[in-house]
Structure 1
Amino acid sequence: MRWPSWLTKPSTSAKDDTSGEAVVSAQTSDLSKPPVSSSDASNNNAWSPFVSLNVVVPSLVLTATTLGFLRFYKTYLRRIPNTSHIKPELYRRRSLFGYVTSVGDGDNFRLFHTPGGRLAGWGWLPWRRVKGMKQLQNKTIHIRLAGVDAPECAHFGRPAQPYSAEALSWLRSYIANRYVRAYIHRRDQYDRVVATVSVRRWLLFRRDVSLEMLNRGLATVYEAKFGSEFGDKEQAYRDAEARAKKAKIGMWAEPGLVGRILGEKKQELESPRAYKTRMAAKESNRKK
């Protein structure tokens, strides 16, 4: 039986209204969202490979490793050519390992800085052999031994002190053309670096050079109102000087039996500090 057409229209219109409302609702929801441009979509697609964890994590690790290596190199492997290149913050915190190229006096010498030592190739790689290297004067650090004062050699028109030649000869034989470690304290008025210096003897043992000089009676403990540097070894140095005096060795020696029989008298010892003070006063009087 066929239904009249006027009976079926309401249901059809209701269906159309419902679908129309759905369409309008969908269009309304779409209008509430910001439109996505094609350029934004392409940018998102372009950056997506770089924000992946597989890319970000290795990049961060590589950057941190590179920066760490550069800091390590600047701190421990970069060579310091001379005194003026030592940063103030390094004093009393760092030590310098290097090769002694020359010894100019009984208590100072020239050091060619070799950071990293033999592990970095110094001494055995062809391009890192210091011995025989030309024009080292501007590539070395002038080191002054801390805590001691050796007899003065003849220079600046001043006569040599007794035992100055012995002190210079011993120091040359002990550290010249050898690798030493210098624990730097400060820079003095003569552009030298005051340092406690140790040298390896018999492969395993390190010897304090200043202490060895005092033990042999070839230097005195450094005495000055200002500028004295001992590290933490002042008492050890004073004890060593006292032992040398008691044993009468080096500059503290007295004439032997034959000398006393022949009437030889003990020389009046003038300390290096007293000698320099006397010479300075004498030169000052000359200028007047």
Structure 2
Amino acid sequence: MQWPDWLKWPPSDQEKKKKDSVLWSESLNATDWSHYSSPRTIIPTAILTFSTLALIRIYRRSLRRIPDAQYITPSYFHKRSLYGYVSRVGDGDNFRLFHTPGGRATGWGWLSSRKVQDWSQKDFQNKTIHVRIAGVDAPETAHFGNKEQPFGKEALEWLRTLLHKRYVRAYIYRLDQYQRVVASVSYWKWGFWKTDVGLEMIKNGMATVYEAKFGSEFGDKESQYRRAMEKAQRKQIGMWTHTKPGLMAKLMGQKQEKVETPREYKTRISQAEKGDAGPKN
């Protein structure tokens, strides 16, 4: 009785030769899977994959330019900031920001295609974020048919001189009803001194602390802002100028002049508009 081949052990020399003799055409078409399981292949592939995913994440998080406020999601609120170039200052407490992710490290300001300081207003059209400076309220300029509030023009010119064509960082709190980014804004003075724009506005009498009942955003700066406003009032700086009568004026019976704050101005205008819109007899 002959034993089956699979029970024969060890294999005969003839069987070994049979297994070892592989046709050249068969070896040419065969796939050597051991090559793909080799550490020399797996490790570089894994490194390349993770590096690619990491670069994509860095780009999406830090290097992708945000053209408008509608692209800012709630994940930014109270967590992230935007660095950019102030292309226009349109009011005493808000401006237009052109997002420049990465700053000078990624070529903004010195690469020929990224010299935003040489661009015209037309170049910035539909590419900027409307920023409302948080925690402050500046005197209103004339718009929507309403008269300018006292010191409104001065506050606008002061902010324009401070911020226009400057790189700033905006720490985002939320979007308001006008799709503006409400943010604390800062810049580096002399290259090493971090300056808070809202605080500087209040110190110089160019704004009051934001007084609305809803929508106020200060971060952790409210008490600092209020102390700065009290100091500006005492020193009669900016919009607080001439609010206190001098000695002779006091002797003549002149009382302290009350300044209408931006919030009081808006409330008065709103009530007047509602009255005009009411039924007429």
Q: TM-score, normalised by structure 1?
A: 0.83
Q: In structure 2, do the counterparts of structure 1 residues 43 and 240 end up closer, same or farther at CA, with 3 Å as the change threshold? A: farther
Are 2:210 and 1:222 equivalent residues in the alignment?
A: yes
**Cα deviation, residue 241, structure 1:** 0.5
The amino acid across from 1:168 in the alignment is L
Cα displacement (A) at 1:206: 1.2
Between the aligned partners of 1:101 and 1:146, the Cα distance in structure 2 is 19
Change (3 A) 1:211 1:28: closer
2:116 aligns to what SS in structure 1? coil
How far apart, CA to CA, are the structure 2 residues paired with 1:43 and 1:57? Answer: 27
* Identity across the alignment (%): 51
Residue type of the partner of 2:5? Answer: Q
SS in 2 for 1:139: coil
Q: Residue 264 of structure 1: CA displacement? A: 8.8
Q: Report what 1:132 is aligned to.
A: 118
Show the counterpart of 1:274: 264
* In 1: Cα distance, 2:37 partner to 2:160 partner: 63
The one-character-per-residue Cα deviations of 1:81-123 (angstroms, maximum 9, x if unpaired) are 0100112111111110000001001000000000000011000
- 1:236 maps onto 2:224 in alignment: yes
2:5 aligned with 1:27:
yes
Q: Deviations over 1:136-172 (max 9, x none)?
A: 1310000000000000000000101111111111101
User: Which structure would you say has the larger Rg?
Assistant: 1
Aligned counterparts of 2:256 and 2:66: Cα–Cα separation in 1: 46
1:61 alignment partner, one of 34, 42, 47: 47
The DSSP-based 3-state class of the residue aligned with 1:196 is: strand
Alpha-carbon distance in structure 2 between the residues aligned to 1:29 and 1:44? 28
RMSD: 2.8
Question: Tell me, which stretches of 5 or more residues in structure 2 are unaligned?
Answer: 9-18
Write out per-residue CA displacement over residues 8-62 of structure 1, whole angstroms, 9 at most, x where no aligned residue: xxxxxxxxxxxxx7xx4462526xxxxx9x9x99997432222211111100100
Match for 2:68 among 75, 82, 86?
Answer: 82
Match of 1:123 among 104, 109, 123: 109
> 2:261 matched to 1:283?
no
Q: What's the secondary structure of 2:260's corresponding residue?
A: coil
Higher mean displacement: 48-57 or 122-131: 48-57
Alpha-carbon distance in structure 1 between the residues aligned to 2:149 and 2:269: 11
Partner of residue 92 from structure 1, selected from 62, 74, 78 = 78
Other-structure match for 2:188: 200
Partner of 1:16 in structure 2?
none
Count of matched residue positions in the alignment of Structure 1 and Structure 2:
262
Cα deviation for residue 188 of structure 1 reads 0.1
Taking the aligned partners of 2:95 and 2:55, their CA distance within structure 1 comes to 32
Alignment-mate amino acid for residue 182 of structure 1: A
1:144 aligned residue (132, 139, 142): 132
Question: In structure 2, what is the Cα distance between the partners aligned to 1:130 and 1:58?
Answer: 40
Q: TM-score, normalised to structure 2's length?
A: 0.85
| Match of residue 169, structure 2, among 158, 165, 181 | 181
1:248 corresponding residue in structure 2: 236
Q: Once the two structures are superposed, what CA deviation does each residue of 1:162-189 show, in whole Å capped at 9, x if it has no partner?
A: 1111111110111110000000100000
| Greater displacement, 162-171 / 139-148 | 162-171
CA distance in 1, matches of 2:43, 2:262: 64
